[in-house]
Structure 1
């Protein structure tokens, strides 16, 4: 579905959607915990559907908010992970606790997204088979044995989280040795925080993690908090609109993308935070220097926002943006250029020269990337004319009700 979006200011109050990152982690923790867990407020989105269906295929019983964990069963049918990188990267090592072969596959760009970390770890052990040129489909073979696992710090944190989930349950101690600085640290911290809620202990070391074995996940009752990654779109919309108040966001959240609040304040945003609400008002914004190494999902909306901030903004730590749902860095450069914003990429650094408005009256493809689609909507009030977003349905991956919330805040669009 394509939509025509109009430049109107957003304003109002909204409850932030549930955290996608935490929803994945709580579901997997509950699946690993023998007994009944109750996880409320799980995000309703395609990526979470993929994780649910994968767990169901592996014998876990899920009924609404209730997860009956510990009921794992091997399957000869491929585990379909949709387009969810979190699903496949979290569950590959988890499935290896079974004494069986498990095949994973996916759709969209997922089959081409890298899985080289697991390939390099498990092929020498005879526990990994790739079935073609692309990383997926691939088969992992259990059982996984405890021991040392060496991983580059420059890889996606999802690989490290996948190992962290399962290693404590093995029959002996393990370690994860991080080679070089660890990127996306907040996402690993989020995994460890969720594991701790299920009673699992992991010890940090100078170069990684020591993981005692023979541990058992305990059932848990909890509610998934609001998502700062998705809240970022509304915070930007409020900063360039007429003010927005968000609820459902924890002030003490471990989510790395909570950094968006400080990043926007650095740009001059007027933000008020209380225990229950976060309010942002319209204020003039200026250029900023931002390292996105730990928060790559904030890239699309912050880079487009910088396209209308006063001065030249600099973004660094951009390597991971190349291997998301799209080549986000390439897509963002194209969007900035087409909307009249001068920009220059120098290695891992992008400089963006802010303009007064963004040029509309054109069509923008989403490149199957939900965050590109939502970032364009959030920035609509800075366009000089209406514009068209193609294939807006990609938002179903992480935020199916995005357009409903957008309209509730005053956003105006026509379905074409």
Structure 2
């Protein structure tokens, strides 16, 4: 799919953000492991969420899907009804489900798109028997261990994966996290969702978590809150294009991507708190240094903001962007240079000197990455001439209605399939 986006001003200035993919993954998994039937409200069926739904069905959970909500009848023991799990390109699904399926008692195949298996899984190797093959892995059960030690700067998803599975163990387990402990907010989110399903997890100290064994998940009703990583795209539209009300998010969220609000404040971005969201106002942005350690998903859209800010911006601790759906540093640098953005990078740091005017009139590529598509699309509305973005279907991974929502605001978009 290709999209042609024309420079345009917002005609309608309000959008409601879709549900948090991070919360939805966690809630679906917890519901699938619970006694009883859970109801999860405010669900958006992106490709990643469908991958997690598929995985819990293999666990034996029964899922009834409706337009914006679903019911899940959970399982009380890990006895999968199949031996193959299709995870498409969802890193969250794969990393969260490996420790759970390792309890199955027989080998489980995980299959998906090639790029997914280029992303790190090695933190599981000391604890779980995993066979690595081309475009698939086979999980063969747990190795013998007492406690778990993980590096805190690879991905918090490995910590969360164990948090889901260890309550089924017969013994208590300590998870020790070697500093630096990055993306700690995502672990807090996992613990919050587990608590809603009556699973007890507690910190012993800031780098050690105790997971008690022989626990039972209990079904509950939960509404998934709006996604701050998606808020960032439309907030940026408001800051660069015209004032924008972004609604459907919690002001008290645990989502790490809420850091976007602090970052734009430091960039002179103006916003107001309103009921159910925020009003983002067109602003004269200024450069600042940005630490991406705890909010890597914001990387692409922050590069867009930096390209339109006065002065030189440095984005550091960004190395994990290189192991996402694409190498996001390379992808964004390559595409922004087509627009003559002054951008350079090394392994984990990005340097951008902003300008207020870019021409457009070129063909950009998504690198098959949903966040790259959306970031470039927002920037496209501010250019002097239209651009074409190729492989724009990547949005289906997290936000299938993104272009519909953008068009509803009055942005001129042509879609070619």
Query: Same fold judged by TM-score > 0.5?
Result: yes
Q: Which moved more, 1:145-154 or 1:318-327?
A: 145-154
Deviation at 1:410, TM superposition (A): 1.4
| CA distance in 1: counterparts of 2:51 and 2:13, whole angstroms | 32
Q: In the alignment, which residue of structure 2 is the partner of 1:38? A: 39
Corresponding position: 1:73 with 2:84: no
CA distance in 2: counterparts of 1:355 and 1:375, whole angstroms: 17
Contact 1:9 1:240 in 2 (8 A): no
Secondary structure at the aligned position of 1:226 is classed as: coil
2:15 is aligned to 14
1:116 maps to which residue?
Answer: 122
Q: What is the SS of the residue equivalent to 2:218?
A: coil
Partner of 2:130 in structure 1?
A: 128
Indicate how the Cα distance of structure 1 residues 108 and 233 shifts in structure 2: closer, same or farther if over 3 A, else same.
Answer: farther
Q: Secondary structure of the residue that 2:110 maps to in structure 1? A: strand
2:90 paired residue among 84, 88, 91: 84
- Partner SS for 1:47: helix
TM-superposition CA deviations, 1:369-389 (whole Å, max 9, x none): 000000111112321210000
Structure 1 residue ranges without an equivalent (≥5): none
Q: CA deviation at 1:335?
A: 2.1
Q: Hey, what's the Cα distance between the residues in 1 that align with 2:91 and 2:111?
A: 11
Alignment of 1:89-168 (within 5 A): 89-122=95-128, 127-132=129-134, 136-142=135-141, 147-168=146-167
Shift in Å, 1:145: 6.6
| 2:274 aligned residue | 274
Looking at structure 2, the residues matched to 286 and 376 of structure 1 have their Cα atoms a distance apart, in angstroms, of 20
1:55-84 CA-to-partner distances (Å, cap 9, x unmatched) read: 112211001210001165334542110010
* Deviation of the 1:215 alpha carbon: 1.1
For structure 2, which runs of at least 5 residues remain unmatched after alignment? none
- Bigger drift between 23-32 and 112-121 goes to 112-121
**Separation in 1 of the partners of 2:223 and 2:415?**
34
The alignment partner of 1:120 has SS state of coil
Kindly provide the CA deviation profile for residues 257-283 of structure 1, in whole angstroms up to 9, marking residues without a partner as x: 111112112211121113423111112
Name the SS for the 1:94 alignment partner: helix
Match of 2:344 in 1: 344
Hey, what does 2:198 align to over in structure 1? 199
1:239-388 to structure 2, matched below 5 A, reads 239-388=239-388
Alpha carbons 2:319, 2:347 under 8 Å: kept: no
Q: Structure 2: how far apart are the matches of 1:80 and 1:349? A: 34
SS at 1:29's partner residue? helix
**Is contact 1:360-1:384 (8 Å) kept?**
yes
Distance in 1 between residues matched to 2:145 and 2:15, nearest whole Å: 46
Structure 1 residue 111: Cα displacement: 2.3
Does structure 2 conserve the Cα–Cα contact (< 8 Å) formed by 1:37 and 1:219?
Answer: yes
Structure 1 residues 82 and 28: CA distance shift in structure 2, 3 A: same
Contact 2:58/2:82, CA 8 A, preserved across alignment: no
Question: Partners in 1 of 2:113 and 2:133 — Cα distance?
Answer: 15
SS of the residue corresponding to residue 326 of structure 1 reads: coil
CA 75–219 in structure 1, closer or farther in 2 if over 3 Å, else same: closer
What secondary structure, in the 3-state scheme, does the structure 2 residue paired with 1:109 have? helix
How far off its partner does 1:108 sit? 4.6
Deviation at 1:178, TM superposition (A): 1.2
Secondary structure of the residue aligned to 2:410 is coil
**For residues 84 and 347 of structure 2, what CA distance do their matches in structure 1 show?**
39
Counterpart Cα distance in 2 of 1:231 and 1:284: 20
Deviations 1:379-414 (A, max 9, x none): 123212100000111100000000110001111111
> RMSD between aligned alpha carbons?
1.6
Q: CA deviation at 1:156?
A: 0.9
Deviations 1:60-114 (A, max 9, x none): 1001210001165334542110010000000010112222221111115112222
